[in-house]
Amino acid sequence: MRILVVEDEHKIAGAIKRGLEQEAYAVDVVYDGDEGLSSALTGEYDMIVLDRMLPGLLDGVDIIKEVRAENIRTPVILLTAKDKVADRVSGLNAGADDYLVKPFAFEELLARIRALLRRPQDVGSNVLTCNDLTMDTATYEVKRAGRKLTLSQREYALLEYLLRNQNRILSKSNIIGHVWDYDADILPNTLEVYIGYLRAKVDRPFSGPELIHTARGFGYKLGVDDN
Ligand code: CA
């Protein structure tokens, strides 16, 4: 999953980026409101972590308003330095999904991100499931048919995105956009290579149905059948 961090304090932004990358998220950081808005409007992100107070013409609340006005529903966590009720209320009213008061523990940010990424049908659970494949996004444990799979960070991130969007055909550019950040070195066959790694771990050793399917010339789909 790809996360946009809009935060002008470089130290905090860097710490959030490093922490989230360790948890297998792809992270882009921008440092002011104008860039924050144009990045958020691309709609390529699965989550936006947004500082309320930003240099430039737009603050965090302005960005949320503009993004929601464009009908982009990406979950937004607002970071606020002031523990003032009015600040939180204006953020939530503008369309933020949650907020954190600075300073916050990274673990809390992580827990809130996980909670916001849950689909409605997953309420109360951190476990993504497809047939006999399970992924616990809190413990990073991936199992198929009860057997634990060992995945690299990128393989995990790719499988998580496919699981969250299961039964949908996803274009290659869509997948790359949500699993790799801007700075990543992507070769034309990078995605195919990683899909190959995943198949060797998720599908090939198991007698259950094949879960990773190729939509020829277009992209991939995770699901039980190939239709
Ligand atoms: Ca700030």
Compute the distance between CA of residue 171 and CA of residue 177 in angstroms, rounded to an integer. Answer: 10
Please return the burial class of 50, using the count of CB atoms within 10 Å of its CB with bins 0-12, 13-18 and 19+.
buried
Q: What is the CATH number of domain 124-222?
A: 1.10.10.10
Distance from residue 164's CA to the centre of ligand 1 (Å): 32
Distance from residue 107's CA to the centre of ligand 1 (Å): 20
Compute the distance between CA of residue 127 and CA of residue 141 in angstroms, rounded to an integer. Answer: 9
Instruction: Mark the residues whose beta carbon lies below 5 A from ion ligand 1.
Output: 8, 51, 53
Compute the distance between CA of residue 185 and CA of residue 187 in angstroms, rounded to an integer. Answer: 7
Q: Which helix (H) or strand (E) holds 3?
A: strand 2-6
Under CATH, which architecture does the 2-117 domain have?
A: 3-Layer(aba) Sandwich (3.40)
What is the residue-level pLDDT of the chain in tens, covering all 227 positions?
999 999 999 999 999 999 999 999 999 999 999 999 999 999 889 999 999 999 989 999 999 999 999 999 999 999 987 767 888 888 899 999 999 999 999 999 999 999 998 876 666 688 999 999 999 998 999 999 999 999 999 999 999 999 999 999 999 999 999 999 888 878 879 999 999 999 999 999 999 999 999 999 899 999 997 65
- Domains of the chain by residue range: 2-117, 124-222
Distance from residue 13's CA to the centre of ligand 1 (Å): 10
In single-letter form, the type of residue at position 119 comes to: R
Count how many residues are written for the chain: 227
